[in-house]
Amino acid sequence: MKTRKLAAGGPEVGEIGLGCMSFAGAFGPTDDETTFACMDAALAAGINFWDTANVYGDGKSESVIGDYLAATGARPVIATKVGIVRSGGFDNSRDHIRRELEGSLKRLRQDRVDLYYIHRREAGRPIEEVVETLARLIEEGLIGGYGLSEVAPASLRRAHAVHPCRAIQSEYSLWSRLPELGMIQTCAELGVTFVPFSPVARGFLTDSSVPYELAHADGFRAKIPRFSAENYAHNKEYWVRFKAFCDARGWPMAAVCLAWVLGKGGHMIPIPATRTAQHLAEWLPANEIVLSDQDLDEIARILPPGWAHGDRYWDAQSLNIERYC
């Protein structure tokens, strides 16, 4: 696995990371044996940057990672998040951030985390105040650096002026292109890593895709407008054409999606999510795929910006996501 720097002063990590939301059963049932095998496969492949959150399965994702680290002695670079309140709403206050960090560290069985994100920005609370809290945690050695999730470029600039931000996380893929309208460029300018989540379109842009019935069985994707019956049918037409492109070159579709993201700049570290070693194996050719100008032109013809039918989130899930275009 090739590596990339997690921002200036950050650790060197595999250029593909691992999203761990599904460790908590968000996209279907799982078990610790399967999850442990996935983490084994990730480390064996050089995928050593793992992303979780305190609210994934009400701490389940962090706990299973902590159990694995304790059992194996492995030391991947861990990112976790704070800011979404389990009972509803958002809280970026000093006391909440510190209290939740203590809980995350306990579940992860660590005395620090490498990267600590504000999962969602609390409306009305100045971002400068939030970053001052995070800077104190850095000074105390409890976190290696901080990040922000789903914010606007303007918020990043304000935050970075108080204390350098290590990473910005937002959804970005061939079917979610908003970050191209300012965030990717701002991160490059400031030396901040951009961490795309759902880079294979929540499993839709993979060789097996996500069958409609499966998407509506896991609860989460069932609410996403892109997976509604009407929108799914339209999106599947694009999938068929893109699969033909990938098959003609002998490339797994997921790997092509990741190669496309990686090609957007050296500051990109995508974090596709899975709970199985089998699906993780589909990503690995991305490390060697080089998309030619002709390939990129063909992908743009097949999947032009704005091709996806339906929004990426339902209304309630869009709260406190900063929209800037």
**Annotated active-site residue in 56, 117, 146, 232:** 56
Separation of CA 249 from chain center: 27
Record the tokens describing residue 229, joined without a space: 């019956």
Q: Is 311 helix (H, G, I), strand (E, B) or coil?
A: coil
Catalytic site includes residue 56: yes
CA separation for the pair 277, 40 (Å, rounded)? 8
What are the beta bridge partners of residue 84? 90
Residue 80 half-sphere exposure, CB side, CA atoms within 13 Å? 31
What are the beta bridge partners of residue 167? 147, 193
Q: Is 130 helix (H, G, I), strand (E, B) or coil?
A: helix
Phi-psi category of residue 318: left, alpha or beta, with phi > 0 → left and psi -120 to 50 → alpha: alpha
DSSP structure string for 81-125: EE-B-TTSSB---HHHHHHHHHHHHHHHT-S-BSEEEESSPPTTS
Give exposure, 253-269, as e/b (b: 16+ Cβ within 10 Å). bbbbbbbbbbebeebbb
Separation of CA 128 from chain center: 24
> With contact defined as beta carbons under 8 Å apart, do 61 and 24 qualify?
yes
* Active-site residue list: 56
